[in-house]
Structure 1
Amino acid sequence: MRKEDCFYLGKIVSKFSFKGEVLVKLDTDEPALYENMESVFLALGRNLVPFFIEQSSLHKSDLLRIKFEEVDTEADAEAIMKTELYLPLEFLPKLSGNKFYFHEVIGFSIEDHQKGSIGTITAINDSTAQALFEVDRDGTEILIPMNDHFILKVDRENQKIVMDLPEGLIDLYID
Protein backbone atom coordinates (compact mmCIF):
# COMPACT_ATOMS: atom_id res chain seq x y z
CA MET A 1 0.00 0.00 0.00
CA ARG A 2 1.32 3.43 -0.95
CA LYS A 3 0.83 6.61 1.09
CA GLU A 4 -0.67 8.27 -1.99
CA ASP A 5 -3.51 5.73 -1.86
CA CYS A 6 -4.22 6.40 1.82
CA PHE A 7 -5.30 9.16 4.13
CA TYR A 8 -3.71 10.19 7.42
CA LEU A 9 -5.86 9.00 10.31
CA GLY A 10 -3.78 9.99 13.32
CA LYS A 11 -0.68 9.38 15.38
CA ILE A 12 0.22 7.17 18.32
CA VAL A 13 0.80 9.63 21.16
CA SER A 14 1.28 7.50 24.27
CA LYS A 15 1.35 4.07 25.82
CA PHE A 16 -1.75 3.19 27.81
CA SER A 17 -1.02 0.00 29.70
CA PHE A 18 1.69 -2.51 30.41
CA LYS A 19 -0.12 -4.88 28.02
CA GLY A 20 0.95 -2.96 24.90
CA GLU A 21 -2.10 -0.73 24.46
CA VAL A 22 -1.56 2.69 22.90
CA LEU A 23 -3.50 5.93 22.56
CA VAL A 24 -3.94 7.41 19.09
CA LYS A 25 -4.74 11.09 18.52
CA LEU A 26 -7.21 11.00 15.63
CA ASP A 27 -7.26 13.67 12.95
CA THR A 28 -11.03 13.69 12.45
CA ASP A 29 -14.16 15.51 13.54
CA GLU A 30 -15.95 12.17 13.94
CA PRO A 31 -13.77 9.79 15.98
CA ALA A 32 -16.63 7.33 16.53
CA LEU A 33 -16.45 6.37 12.83
CA TYR A 34 -13.09 4.70 13.48
CA GLU A 35 -13.84 2.92 16.74
CA ASN A 36 -14.40 -0.57 15.29
CA MET A 37 -11.66 -0.93 12.69
CA GLU A 38 -10.10 -4.32 11.99
CA SER A 39 -6.74 -2.99 10.84
CA VAL A 40 -4.72 0.11 9.98
CA PHE A 41 -1.44 0.85 8.25
CA LEU A 42 1.44 2.17 10.35
CA ALA A 43 4.16 4.25 8.72
CA LEU A 44 7.33 2.40 9.69
CA GLY A 45 10.36 3.81 7.94
CA ARG A 46 9.39 4.36 4.30
CA ASN A 47 6.74 1.61 4.34
CA LEU A 48 3.12 1.31 5.35
CA VAL A 49 2.78 -1.88 7.37
CA PRO A 50 -0.61 -3.44 8.18
CA PHE A 51 -1.37 -3.86 11.87
CA PHE A 52 -4.41 -5.82 13.02
CA ILE A 53 -6.52 -4.52 15.88
CA GLU A 54 -7.61 -6.86 18.70
CA GLN A 55 -9.64 -4.22 20.47
CA SER A 56 -10.26 -0.48 20.36
CA SER A 57 -12.40 2.08 22.16
CA LEU A 58 -12.78 5.82 22.32
CA HIS A 59 -10.86 7.45 25.12
CA LYS A 60 -11.52 11.07 26.12
CA SER A 61 -13.27 12.31 22.95
CA ASP A 62 -10.61 12.39 20.20
CA LEU A 63 -8.27 9.65 21.43
CA LEU A 64 -8.61 6.03 20.38
CA ARG A 65 -7.30 3.34 22.73
CA ILE A 66 -5.97 0.46 20.61
CA LYS A 67 -4.66 -2.99 21.40
CA PHE A 68 -2.83 -4.30 18.33
CA GLU A 69 -2.23 -8.00 17.70
CA GLU A 70 1.34 -8.98 18.61
CA VAL A 71 1.96 -5.74 20.52
CA ASP A 72 1.85 -7.27 23.99
CA THR A 73 4.33 -5.40 26.16
CA GLU A 74 5.36 -1.86 27.03
CA ALA A 75 8.52 -2.40 24.98
CA ASP A 76 6.43 -3.43 21.94
CA ALA A 77 4.29 -0.30 22.37
CA GLU A 78 7.39 1.88 22.78
CA ALA A 79 8.68 0.59 19.42
CA ILE A 80 5.66 2.09 17.61
CA MET A 81 5.40 5.36 19.56
CA LYS A 82 4.86 8.55 17.48
CA THR A 83 4.00 6.40 14.45
CA GLU A 84 1.42 7.74 11.99
CA LEU A 85 -1.68 5.69 11.13
CA TYR A 86 -3.18 5.52 7.63
CA LEU A 87 -6.25 3.98 6.00
CA PRO A 88 -6.99 3.42 2.30
CA LEU A 89 -8.84 6.34 0.65
CA GLU A 90 -11.90 4.16 -0.01
CA PHE A 91 -12.53 4.08 3.77
CA LEU A 92 -13.22 7.82 3.85
CA PRO A 93 -16.92 8.56 4.32
CA LYS A 94 -18.40 10.20 1.21
CA LEU A 95 -19.05 13.91 1.62
CA SER A 96 -21.74 15.86 -0.19
CA GLY A 97 -22.74 19.46 -0.63
CA ASN A 98 -20.02 21.99 0.07
CA LYS A 99 -18.04 19.71 2.37
CA PHE A 100 -14.84 18.22 0.96
CA TYR A 101 -11.58 16.56 1.89
CA PHE A 102 -8.46 18.60 1.20
CA HIS A 103 -6.90 15.92 -1.04
CA GLU A 104 -10.15 15.67 -3.02
CA VAL A 105 -10.07 19.24 -4.42
CA ILE A 106 -6.45 19.35 -5.60
CA GLY A 107 -6.71 20.00 -9.34
CA PHE A 108 -10.16 21.61 -9.08
CA SER A 109 -10.59 25.03 -10.66
CA ILE A 110 -11.63 28.04 -8.61
CA GLU A 111 -14.21 30.35 -10.06
CA ASP A 112 -15.35 33.65 -8.55
CA HIS A 113 -18.97 34.54 -9.29
CA GLN A 114 -17.84 38.12 -10.22
CA LYS A 115 -14.38 37.67 -11.80
CA GLY A 116 -14.88 34.24 -13.40
CA SER A 117 -12.05 31.72 -13.59
CA ILE A 118 -9.27 32.33 -11.05
CA GLY A 119 -7.04 29.29 -11.51
CA THR A 120 -6.36 25.71 -10.39
CA ILE A 121 -5.91 24.48 -6.83
CA THR A 122 -2.40 23.08 -6.51
CA ALA A 123 -2.33 22.55 -2.72
CA ILE A 124 -4.01 23.31 0.58
CA ASN A 125 -2.03 25.22 3.20
CA ASP A 126 -3.43 24.31 6.59
CA SER A 127 -0.40 25.40 8.62
CA THR A 128 -1.98 28.80 9.28
CA ALA A 129 -4.93 29.73 11.51
CA GLN A 130 -7.12 29.91 8.38
CA ALA A 131 -6.62 27.13 5.82
CA LEU A 132 -5.81 28.47 2.35
CA PHE A 133 -6.32 27.26 -1.20
CA GLU A 134 -3.02 27.59 -3.08
CA VAL A 135 -4.15 28.47 -6.60
CA ASP A 136 -2.03 28.65 -9.75
CA ARG A 137 -3.08 31.31 -12.25
CA ASP A 138 -0.73 31.17 -15.22
CA GLY A 139 2.32 30.82 -12.98
CA THR A 140 1.17 33.26 -10.30
CA GLU A 141 0.34 31.78 -6.90
CA ILE A 142 -2.85 33.11 -5.34
CA LEU A 143 -3.78 32.34 -1.74
CA ILE A 144 -7.52 32.17 -1.07
CA PRO A 145 -8.96 31.67 2.43
CA MET A 146 -11.03 28.49 2.76
CA ASN A 147 -13.90 30.28 4.44
CA ASP A 148 -17.33 28.60 4.38
CA HIS A 149 -18.94 31.99 3.74
CA PHE A 150 -16.94 32.39 0.50
CA ILE A 151 -17.74 28.92 -0.92
CA LEU A 152 -20.96 28.96 -2.93
CA LYS A 153 -20.73 25.52 -4.53
CA VAL A 154 -18.44 22.50 -4.71
CA ASP A 155 -19.10 21.01 -8.15
CA ARG A 156 -17.45 17.58 -8.04
CA GLU A 157 -18.76 16.58 -11.46
CA ASN A 158 -16.99 19.50 -13.18
CA GLN A 159 -14.12 19.66 -10.65
CA LYS A 160 -14.84 23.26 -9.79
CA ILE A 161 -15.38 25.36 -6.67
CA VAL A 162 -17.51 28.47 -7.14
CA MET A 163 -16.76 31.22 -4.64
CA ASP A 164 -17.97 34.69 -3.67
CA LEU A 165 -14.63 36.31 -2.89
CA PRO A 166 -14.26 39.64 -1.11
CA GLU A 167 -13.81 42.57 -3.45
CA GLY A 168 -10.14 43.32 -4.08
CA LEU A 169 -8.75 39.96 -2.89
CA ILE A 170 -7.80 38.67 -6.34
CA ASP A 171 -6.67 42.16 -7.40
CA LEU A 172 -3.86 41.88 -4.81
CA TYR A 173 -2.31 39.20 -7.04
CA ILE A 174 -3.17 40.30 -10.57
CA ASP A 175 -3.39 43.62 -12.36
Structure 2
Amino acid sequence: MEFNDYFKIGYVLKPHGLKGEVTVSLDEVDPADLAGIGTVFLEKNNRLEPYFVESLSGTGSKAFLKVEDIDTPESAQGISKRSIYLPKAARPKSARGQFYDDEVIDFEVTDAQLGAIGKVVGVMKAGANRLLVLDYQGKEVLIPVNSPFIKSINKSKRQISVDLPEGFLDI
Protein backbone atom coordinates (compact mmCIF):
# COMPACT_ATOMS: atom_id res chain seq x y z
CA MET A 1 0.00 0.00 0.00
CA GLU A 2 1.34 3.38 -1.01
CA PHE A 3 1.43 6.05 1.71
CA ASN A 4 0.54 8.67 -0.94
CA ASP A 5 -2.97 7.23 -1.11
CA TYR A 6 -3.51 7.60 2.65
CA PHE A 7 -3.55 10.38 5.21
CA LYS A 8 -2.66 10.25 8.88
CA ILE A 9 -5.60 10.77 11.23
CA GLY A 10 -3.86 10.16 14.53
CA TYR A 11 -1.83 7.97 16.80
CA VAL A 12 -2.57 4.99 19.05
CA LEU A 13 -1.50 5.98 22.56
CA LYS A 14 -2.12 3.03 24.89
CA PRO A 15 -4.51 0.22 25.88
CA HIS A 16 -7.79 1.24 27.53
CA GLY A 17 -9.75 -1.20 29.67
CA LEU A 18 -9.71 -4.98 29.61
CA LYS A 19 -11.31 -5.80 26.24
CA GLY A 20 -8.63 -4.66 23.79
CA GLU A 21 -9.74 -1.08 23.31
CA VAL A 22 -7.05 1.59 22.80
CA THR A 23 -6.89 5.32 23.47
CA VAL A 24 -6.07 7.33 20.35
CA SER A 25 -5.10 10.92 19.72
CA LEU A 26 -6.73 12.30 16.56
CA ASP A 27 -5.29 15.01 14.32
CA GLU A 28 -7.57 17.21 12.22
CA VAL A 29 -10.62 14.91 12.49
CA ASP A 30 -13.35 14.55 15.07
CA PRO A 31 -14.53 11.06 16.09
CA ALA A 32 -18.05 11.99 14.93
CA ASP A 33 -16.67 12.55 11.39
CA LEU A 34 -15.48 8.94 11.37
CA ALA A 35 -18.86 7.36 12.18
CA GLY A 36 -19.35 4.26 10.08
CA ILE A 37 -15.71 3.92 9.09
CA GLY A 38 -15.07 0.22 8.52
CA THR A 39 -11.31 -0.04 8.34
CA VAL A 40 -8.30 1.85 9.67
CA PHE A 41 -4.69 1.27 8.71
CA LEU A 42 -1.92 1.15 11.30
CA GLU A 43 1.69 1.77 10.39
CA LYS A 44 4.19 -0.94 11.24
CA ASN A 45 7.72 -1.11 9.82
CA ASN A 46 6.91 1.47 7.12
CA ARG A 47 3.90 -0.54 5.94
CA LEU A 48 0.19 -0.08 6.48
CA GLU A 49 -1.79 -2.96 8.00
CA PRO A 50 -5.62 -2.97 7.80
CA TYR A 51 -7.73 -3.38 10.95
CA PHE A 52 -11.51 -3.71 10.94
CA VAL A 53 -13.17 -1.22 13.29
CA GLU A 54 -15.65 -2.55 15.84
CA SER A 55 -16.20 0.80 17.55
CA LEU A 56 -14.85 4.32 17.73
CA SER A 57 -16.09 6.85 20.26
CA GLY A 58 -14.95 10.05 21.88
CA THR A 59 -14.96 13.81 21.47
CA GLY A 60 -12.44 16.32 20.25
CA SER A 61 -8.97 14.93 19.71
CA LYS A 62 -9.29 11.98 22.11
CA ALA A 63 -11.08 8.76 21.18
CA PHE A 64 -11.35 5.09 22.06
CA LEU A 65 -10.89 2.57 19.27
CA LYS A 66 -11.77 -1.13 19.25
CA VAL A 67 -10.66 -3.26 16.31
CA GLU A 68 -11.33 -6.90 15.45
CA ASP A 69 -9.04 -9.60 16.85
CA ILE A 70 -7.58 -7.30 19.51
CA ASP A 71 -9.34 -8.53 22.65
CA THR A 72 -6.91 -8.18 25.56
CA PRO A 73 -4.82 -5.39 27.07
CA GLU A 74 -1.73 -7.34 25.98
CA SER A 75 -2.80 -7.51 22.33
CA ALA A 76 -3.84 -3.83 22.52
CA GLN A 77 -0.32 -3.03 23.72
CA GLY A 78 0.93 -4.59 20.47
CA ILE A 79 -0.79 -1.91 18.38
CA SER A 80 0.10 0.99 20.70
CA LYS A 81 2.41 3.79 19.63
CA ARG A 82 1.50 3.42 15.96
CA SER A 83 0.18 6.00 13.50
CA ILE A 84 -3.38 5.59 12.18
CA TYR A 85 -4.22 6.19 8.51
CA LEU A 86 -7.30 6.25 6.29
CA PRO A 87 -7.49 6.18 2.50
CA LYS A 88 -7.66 9.72 1.12
CA ALA A 89 -10.89 8.72 -0.64
CA ALA A 90 -12.49 8.16 2.80
CA ARG A 91 -11.38 11.53 4.19
CA PRO A 92 -14.27 13.54 5.64
CA LYS A 93 -14.81 16.81 3.75
CA SER A 94 -13.16 19.75 5.45
CA ALA A 95 -15.44 22.66 6.29
CA ARG A 96 -15.45 25.80 4.17
CA GLY A 97 -12.39 27.88 5.02
CA GLN A 98 -10.68 24.95 6.73
CA PHE A 99 -8.24 22.40 5.37
CA TYR A 100 -6.25 19.28 6.03
CA ASP A 101 -2.52 19.92 6.29
CA ASP A 102 -1.61 18.03 3.12
CA GLU A 103 -4.33 19.79 1.07
CA VAL A 104 -2.54 23.16 1.02
CA ILE A 105 0.94 22.05 -0.02
CA ASP A 106 1.93 24.06 -3.13
CA PHE A 107 -0.89 26.59 -2.64
CA GLU A 108 0.12 30.10 -3.75
CA VAL A 109 0.09 32.62 -0.88
CA THR A 110 -0.93 36.17 -1.73
CA ASP A 111 -0.52 39.08 0.68
CA ALA A 112 -2.97 42.01 0.65
CA GLN A 113 -0.13 44.56 0.22
CA LEU A 114 2.67 42.62 -1.49
CA GLY A 115 0.79 40.33 -3.86
CA ALA A 116 2.15 36.81 -4.49
CA ILE A 117 4.79 35.99 -1.87
CA GLY A 118 5.42 32.27 -2.27
CA LYS A 119 4.13 28.72 -1.97
CA VAL A 120 3.20 26.60 1.01
CA VAL A 121 5.83 23.88 1.48
CA GLY A 122 4.43 22.41 4.68
CA VAL A 123 2.30 22.81 7.78
CA MET A 124 3.75 22.63 11.30
CA LYS A 125 2.12 22.23 14.66
CA ALA A 126 3.27 24.40 17.54
CA GLY A 127 1.27 23.30 20.56
CA ALA A 128 -2.39 23.77 19.70
CA ASN A 129 -1.53 26.09 16.79
CA ARG A 130 -0.82 25.33 13.16
CA LEU A 131 1.68 27.28 11.09
CA LEU A 132 1.96 27.47 7.31
CA VAL A 133 5.55 26.92 6.19
CA LEU A 134 6.09 29.28 3.27
CA ASP A 135 9.00 29.43 0.84
CA TYR A 136 9.59 33.18 0.57
CA GLN A 137 12.57 34.21 -1.59
CA GLY A 138 14.42 31.04 -0.60
CA LYS A 139 13.73 31.54 3.11
CA GLU A 140 11.35 29.57 5.30
CA VAL A 141 8.66 31.79 6.82
CA LEU A 142 6.04 30.61 9.33
CA ILE A 143 2.56 32.12 9.16
CA PRO A 144 0.04 31.37 11.94
CA VAL A 145 -3.12 29.73 10.64
CA ASN A 146 -5.59 32.10 12.28
CA SER A 147 -7.04 35.53 11.94
CA PRO A 148 -5.94 38.23 11.51
CA PHE A 149 -3.30 36.66 9.24
CA ILE A 150 -5.35 34.27 7.06
CA LYS A 151 -8.10 36.06 5.15
CA SER A 152 -9.33 33.28 2.85
CA ILE A 153 -8.51 29.86 1.45
CA ASN A 154 -9.63 29.06 -2.08
CA LYS A 155 -9.14 25.34 -2.68
CA SER A 156 -10.28 25.39 -6.31
CA LYS A 157 -7.75 28.12 -7.20
CA ARG A 158 -5.15 26.62 -4.79
CA GLN A 159 -4.69 30.05 -3.22
CA ILE A 160 -4.42 31.44 0.30
CA SER A 161 -4.95 35.16 0.90
CA VAL A 162 -3.17 36.69 3.88
CA ASP A 163 -2.80 40.14 5.40
CA LEU A 164 0.58 40.22 7.11
CA PRO A 165 1.77 43.09 9.29
CA GLU A 166 4.38 45.35 7.75
CA GLY A 167 7.85 43.85 8.22
CA PHE A 168 6.52 40.35 9.02
CA LEU A 169 8.50 38.75 6.19
CA ASP A 170 11.71 40.54 7.23
CA ILE A 171 11.93 38.77 10.58
Normalization by structure 2: what TM-score? 0.86
Q: For residue 147 of structure 1, report the CA deviation from its aligned partner.
A: 2.0
Equivalent residue runs for 1:43-122 within 5 Å: 43-53=43-53, 55-59=54-58, 62-122=61-121
Q: For residue 11 of structure 1, report the CA deviation from its aligned partner.
A: 1.8
Aligned residue number for residue 21 of structure 1? 21
Equivalent residue runs for 1:4-15 within 5 Å: 4-15=4-15
Aligned residues: percent identity? 35
In structure 2, the CA distance between the partners of 1:163 and 1:24, relative to structure 1 (3 Å rule), is same
In structure 2, the CA distance between the partners of 1:137 and 1:59, relative to structure 1 (3 Å rule), is closer
Q: For residue 80 of structure 1, report the CA deviation from its aligned partner.
A: 1.1
Q: For residue 77 of structure 1, report the CA deviation from its aligned partner.
A: 1.4
d(CA) in 1 for partners of 2:59, 2:128: 25
Q: For residue 61 of structure 1, report the CA deviation from its aligned partner.
A: 5.5
Higher strand proportion, which one?
2
1:13-56 deviations in Å (ceiling 9; x for gaps): 22223332222222245221224321100001110000112x21
- Structure number with bigger Rg: 1
1:60-84 deviations in Å (ceiling 9; x for gaps): 6543333222222332212111121
2:108 and 2:119 in contact (8 A); partners too: yes
1:117-136 deviations in Å (ceiling 9; x for gaps): 11111111213564322211
2:31 and 2:58 in contact (8 A); partners too: no
* Consecutive unaligned residues in structure 1, runs of 5 or more: none
Aligned residue pair count: 171
RMSD of Structure 2 on Structure 1 (CA): 2.1
